[in-house]
Amino acid sequence: DTEVTQTPKHLVMGMTNKKSLKCEQHMGHRAMYWYKQKAKKPPELMFVYSYEKLSINESVPSRFSPECPNSSLLNLHLHALQPEDSALYLCASSQDRGDGYTFGSGTRLTVV
C-alpha cells in the first residue's frame, strides 16, 4: 500500500459545527502532516507529527485541533471555523525527517 487515504473527500459545515477530517497510511511512515491549500496557492504547512508526537505547529488557530491516535492515523478536529477557512486540506506522510513525502487527495472543506 503506497497511498495516503483521506476522508471525507468533500465537507460542508456551518460555523457552529464540529467535524473531523481523517487521514490514514500504511507505509510505515513515522511523520504525518496537515497542509492547507487555498485556490491557486501552494500548500501551507499546519502541523507535523513525528513518532506520534506533535513536533511542529505553524501558529495555527486553536479552532483546528490535530490528533494522532497511532502511527497510521491522523485526525484534524474542526470547531467554530470561519468562511475563510474554506480550502483543500491535505494530509501527507514521510519517512523520518521529511524525505519522500506522499500526499493524500485532500478534503475539500467549505465553511458556510
Partner 1 sequence: EDQVTQSPEALRLQEGESSSLNCSYTVSGLRGLFWYRQDPGKGPEFLFTLYSAGEEKEKERLKATLTKKESFLHITAPKPEDSATYLCAVRTHDYKLSFGAGTTVTVRA
List interacting residues with partner 1 (CB under 8 A): 4, 6, 31, 33, 41-45, 48, 50, 55-56, 88, 90, 92, 94, 97-106, 108
Closest CB 24 distance from partner 1, rounded Å: 14
Closest CB 107 distance from partner 1, rounded Å: 10
**E strands of 14-85, at which residues?**
18-25, 31-37, 44-50, 53-57, 64-70, 73-79
CA distances in angstroms from 73 to 5, 19, 25, 33, 67, listed in the order given? 10, 16, 7, 11, 9
Q: Which is nearer to partner 1, 14 or 100 (CB)?
A: 100
Q: Which is nearer to partner 1, 45 or 80 (CB)?
A: 45
Work out the number of other CB atoms within 10 angstroms of the CB of residue 6.
Answer: 22
Closest CB 93 distance from partner 1, rounded Å: 11
Q: Which is nearer to partner 1, 72 or 80 (CB)?
A: 72
Q: Are strands 44-50 and 87-94 parallel, antiparallel or unpaired?
A: unpaired
Q: Specify which residues 4 forms β-bridges with.
A: 25
Q: Which is nearer to partner 1, 13 or 45 (CB)?
A: 45
